[in-house]
């Protein structure tokens, strides 16, 4: 069974995530992907042949849904393009999600450069 990668991107980083997914579609194709709502839609538009399950939008609970999947062992890696220059009204949820990834020792990339290095090391 394929592993699962979570993809999340803040508003100002959604274009970057869509481009990342399109550029890395061959590597991502064997994976099940979960993504917060809008990010998942943008990824599917850019790479329609990927296996993407869209969850709720981050502020509406999508971050917590992915956090629960991490806690239950259903996420193998987290790629989260964070925009540190834009205020986040749900900052507490974002910090909790990152904390869970650390607690459960899930590989996590918080920017594109790290994601490009991490992705080829993962095995579906």
Is-contact 79 5, C-beta < 8 A?
Answer: yes
Which positions are catalytic?
A: 63
pTM (predicted TM-score) = 0.93
Residue 70's pLDDT is 97
Based on DSSP, count helices (H) and strands (E) in the chain, helices before strands. Answer: 6, 5
Q: Specify whether the CB–CB gap between 29 and 40 falls below 8 A.
A: no
For residue 37, CA distances in Å to 1, 3, 105, 118, 124 come to: 24, 20, 25, 23, 23
Please report, for the chain, the start and end positions of each structural domain, with discontinuous segments joined by +.
4-121
> Which burial class, exposed, middle or buried, applies to 58 when counting CB atoms under 10 A from its CB (0-12, 13-18, 19+)?
buried
**Predicted confidence band of residue 24 (pLDDT cuts 50, 70, 90):** very high
Edge-to-edge strand order for the sheet containing 51-54?
A: 51-54, 32-35, 4-9, 77-81, 108-109
Q: Which CATH superfamily is domain 4-121 in?
A: Methylglyoxal synthase-like domain (3.40.50.1380)
- pLDDT, tens digit, for every residue of 41-95? 999 999 999 999 999 988 888 999 999 999 999 999 999 998 888 776 667 878 8
């Amino acid at each position: 069974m394929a592993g699962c990668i979570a993809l999340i991107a803040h508003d100002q980083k959604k274009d970057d995530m869509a481009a990342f997914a399109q550029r890395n579609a061959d590597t991502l194709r064997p994976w099940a992907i979960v993504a917060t709502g809008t990010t998942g839609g943008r990824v599917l538009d850019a790479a329609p042949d990927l296996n993407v399950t869209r969850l709720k939008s981050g502020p509406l609970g999508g971050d917590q849904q992915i956090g629960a999947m991490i806690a239950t062992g259903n996420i193998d890696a987290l790629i989260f393009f964070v925009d540190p220059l834009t205020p986040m009204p749900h900052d507490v949820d974002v910090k909790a999600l990152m904390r869970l990834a650390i607690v459960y020792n899930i590989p996590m990339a918080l920017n594109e450069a790290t994601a490009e290095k991490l992705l080829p090391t993962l095995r579906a």
